[in-house]
Chain A
Amino acid sequence: MKADSGQASIEAVAGIAALLLAGLLCFQLLATGYSATVVDGAAAAGAVALVRGKPVEPAVRDALPGWARSRVSVRRLGERVEVTIRPPSPFAALSDRISLTSTASAKSG
């Protein structure tokens, strides 16, 4: 059965590699989706701060989970709050290339 075992090993290695790849892709998909949800909420929180006359950037950061606070940039353009976040990625090359932006507007003055 040595040859059989070898065949199974090859299949197992290929299978595990395929599973790993699929898992990473799924993680990337989920991380991106979750980041989209998070960035929407953060932009809305920033706009609420804007309408209440409070500082926008602290409000945006407070609305984000800890891991996202160092991956976010906030811009205020008149009545619009623009929040951009880089979702976490297991692929280093992708990490800097993916970014999600959400905007929310509110009366500012």
Chain B
Amino acid sequence: MNETGNTPGNRLTLVTSLGGASGVAPVAAALLMEETAAGKTPLLVEVTDDQPRSATLVSPTETKALEASLRDLVSEVAFRARGSLCIATVVDDESAMNSLHALLDGLGREAPVAIALPPDRYREFVESSDTALDRIVFVADPPDRAGDRALAELALGEARELARTAELVSAAPGRLASRRALAGRRSSQGQGRGRRAPDLVAESGQATPLVLGAVFVLILGTIALVAIAGAITGKARAQSVADLSALSSARSMKNDLPRLLAPPTLPNGAPNPAHMSKFEYLMRARLTAVRIAVKNGASPLRVAVRFPDSISFAPVTTRVTVRSRVVGGDPGKTTDDWAEARVGAPISMGSVPSMASGGGYSGPLAERQGKGLRPDVAAAFDQMALAASAAGVTLSITSAFRSDAEQAALFAANPDPTWVARPGTSLHRCATELDLGPSAAYGWLAANASRFGFTQRYSWEAWHYGFVAGPAPCSEAGNSVGAGGSSESVSATALPSFVPAKYRKPILASAMKWGVSAALLAAQLYAESNFDPNAGSSAGAQGIAQFIPSTAAAYGLSNPFDPVESIDAQGHLMSDLLKQFGSPALALAAYNAGPGAVAPCNCIPSYPETQAYVAKILALLGGVGAISPMPMEVELVK
């Protein structure tokens, strides 16, 4: 639309069309709204056959006042306040010109006035009017023929004789701009020119686009956030599938490890039905991984399972890769999520020390419910807990082995000998005593504990049971139960069945001499050489205990191929390693990989051979109850 510059607010403009162009009234309204200063109300006089436009719901006070003041001026003219614009509608009939002139004559013209006139009324108006026009504006379609341009030039030339300026508008406002102008709203263009808008806050419709924009931005932002979160969740879900599959595969290995490690043949040479081949062991782990991945929504064709330490005699690590499609990416584009899990030996056997010391019982401790027990007591408790469970009673151990130091702390807190024995006198230091619960189990215990070798020590302590079916508490025989001991009957049961008869005595002797579990030494010999006194290895290890020459020399072992000498040196070395590392798992790792590989990290080195070695021995030990029955855990490695 043409710009006419800032002009005083009281000019009279005539707007009509050329060549049947539409948009006369919107152009007139837009010009008025664009050029009217703040605080003044422009008047649009529209000559039309149509019904008068309806008033808007809300209009400025000035516009309403103008509408009211003009209402009685000419009875044939309808006045409507529309936003900041007042519109006078003159019915296009025979008296139209009279009404129009009467209106113009009666106006004070304190604000701009524009007349929107049909083209067929233009000549009649200008010939009959003596009102001075400030401007004549022709609305025309863009001229595309020479004839149109000539007609426009002719009209403009004639108009310049009638008014101070004449203009041609060749681009009528669009539908939205027309509606805005005829609703008395200012165009954004007008505001952009620096003219002060009446009041931006009060301007009707200004808040609406702002609010809509804010709502749009809010919703768009939320959708973007949800989409990002969805992508992250999808990625996390795929990783979770890999994690759970790998862990499940490792769990399968953990369950099957004792069967893998079981001797393939029985002492009589017959196949051992408890033995599981390595192929079957790995296949079961693979199938478990795939089955769990499928249960978690993965396609079986997109799951890959491999065993990084499969060359080991006892693989304990599994890696699962799950391939998934990239959401929103190319249909063929995929991403891999993988996880590695293993059957791991805990560095420590919980909070229970591996060996009891400091007065009372002196020997290995078996862990039950986080408490230490003499191994034969633990085995009896297992039987009793199983029977109690079958009767619907769950036994819990409140207290078991207590060193003198622990007893001293307990007595200091409760210095009543009736309830807490003085340090050095409590039977709990013998690792044969159990404080059991809950109170609901007391009745069952009173009726059944004796079947498993336990007796209620004191009539006033319904929870305190002592083990009386084995060696006496804190006796030499009791100390030797875990270490191999001198009691043939007890020691024999402490050794696994796979130990050849000819090596039982040397193992028991070494265990007693060096204070190491006989079962531990036996399991080690089985893992090292399968009790072959002439075994050798490519690394130079020799004999039944697989000593390398330098270590053999350090422990005074002159002939590693002598099984009795070797087993004695083995007990000596393990005793030293247990003292150095304080944990059977770390001591075993150090025996296999060397103390130099274990000490820096105080962990089991990540050598597959060492990990399998430790896992194998701990599994064997768990089977004979020398340590906690669940010594190994499944854990995610990567």
B211 touches A107 (CB 8 A): no
| A4 in contact with B202 given A33-B226, A40-B236, A48-B244 (CB within 8 Å) | yes
Instruction: Give the Cβ gap from B637 to chain A, nearest Cβ, in Å.
Output: 14
B201 proximity list for chain A (CB < 8 A)? 5, 8
**Are B248 and A107 in touch, CB under 8 angstroms?**
yes
B204 interface residue (CB < 8 Å to A): yes
Among B210, B248, B288, B634, find the residue whose CB has the most chain A CB atoms closer than 10 A.
B248
Interface assignment of B179: CB less than 8 Å from any CB of chain A: no
Q: Which of A18-34 contact B (CB under 8 A)?
A: 18-19, 22-23, 25-26, 29-30, 33-34
Evaluate whether A4 and B198 lie within 8 angstroms (CB atoms) in the complex, with A11-B205, A12-B207, A37-B232 already known. Answer: yes
A1 contacts B244, C-beta separation under 8 Å: no
A98 within 8 A of B: no
Tell whether, in the assembled complex, residue A105 and residue B59 are in contact, meaning their CB atoms are under 8 Å apart. no
Interface size class, chain B: 35 or more
**What residue of chain A has the Cβ atom nearest to residue B250's Cβ?**
A51
Contact present for A8 and B247 (CB under 8 Å): no
**Is B406 positioned at the interface, with any CB of A under 8 Å from its CB?**
no
- CB contacts (< 8 Å) of B389 on chain A: these are none
Q: How many residues of A contact B (CB 8 A)?
A: 41
Expressed in whole angstroms, the Cα–Cα distance for A79 and B208 within the complex equals: 56
Q: Which residues of A contact B202 (CB under 8 A)?
A: 1, 4-5, 7-8
| CB within 8 Å for A40 and B233 given contacts A26-B218, A104-B244 | yes
Main secondary structure of the interface of A (DSSP, over half): helix
| B-chain residues with CB within 8 Å of residue A74 when the two chains form the complex | none
The yes or no answer to B124 lying at the interface (CB within 8 A) is no
**A residues within 8 A CB of B57?**
7
Known contacts A104-B296, A105-B292, A106-B244; is A3 also within 8 Å of B229 by CB?
no
Whether a CB of chain B sits under 8 angstroms from the CB of A76 is no
Is B22 close to A, CB under 8 A? no
> Chain B residue with minimal CB distance to A23?
B218
Secondary structure type dominating chain B contacts: helix
Chain B CB within 10 A, most for which of A7, A15, A29: A7
Q: How long is the Cα–Cα vector from A3 to B288 in the complex, in angstroms?
A: 76
Contact in complex: A40, B634 (CB < 8 Å): no
- CB closest residue in chain A, given B57: A7
In chain B, positions 209-254 with a C-beta closer than 8 Å to chain A are 210-212, 214-215, 218-219, 221-223, 225-226, 229-230, 232-233, 236-237, 240, 243-244, 247-249, 251-252
Q: How far is the CA of A44 from the CA of B210 in the complex (A)?
A: 44
Picked from B59, B210, B633, the residue with its CB within 8 Å of the CB of A3 is B59
**Closest B residue, CB atoms, query A6:** B58
Counting chain A CB atoms within 10 Å of each CB, which of B58, B60, B634 scores highest? B58
A3 → chain B, closest Cβ, in Å?
A: 5
Is B251 a contact partner of A107 (Cβ separation < 8 A)?
yes
Enumerate chain B residues within 8 angstroms of A29, measured Cβ to Cβ.
222-223, 226
- Determine if B247 and A52 form an interchain contact, defined as CB atoms under 8 angstroms apart: yes
Q: Counting CB contacts under 8 A, is B196 at the interface? A: no
Is the beta-carbon distance between A4 and B634 smaller than 8 angstroms?
Answer: no
Please indicate the chain B residues that have their CB under 8 angstroms from the CB of A30 in the complex.
Answer: 222, 225-226
Residues of A within 8 A of B198 (CB): 1, 4
- Closest A residue to B295 by CB, please name it: A105
Q: A1-B199, A40-B236, A52-B247 are in contact. Are A26 and B222 (CB under 8 A)?
A: yes
> Closest Cβ of chain A: how far from B505's Cβ, in Å?
38
The answer to whether B230 and A51 have CB atoms under 8 Å apart is no
Q: Verify if A53 is at the interface (C-beta below 8 Å from B).
A: yes
What are 19 A-B contacts with C-beta separation under 8 Å? A4-B60, A5-B202, A6-B58, A14-B211, A15-B210, A19-B214, A19-B218, A22-B214, A25-B219, A26-B219, A33-B230, A37-B236, A41-B236, A48-B243, A48-B244, A51-B248, A52-B633, A105-B244, A105-B292
Residues of A within 8 A of B (CB): 1-8, 10-12, 14-16, 18-19, 22-23, 25-26, 29-30, 33-34, 36-37, 40-41, 44, 47-48, 51-53, 79-80, 104-107, 109
Closest 3 pairs (CB-CB, A-B): A4-B202, A15-B211, A107-B248
Chain B residues with CB under 8 Å of chain A are 57-61, 64, 198-199, 201-208, 210-212, 214-215, 218-219, 221-223, 225-226, 229-230, 232-233, 236-237, 240, 243-244, 247-249, 251-252, 255, 288, 292, 295-296, 630, 633-634
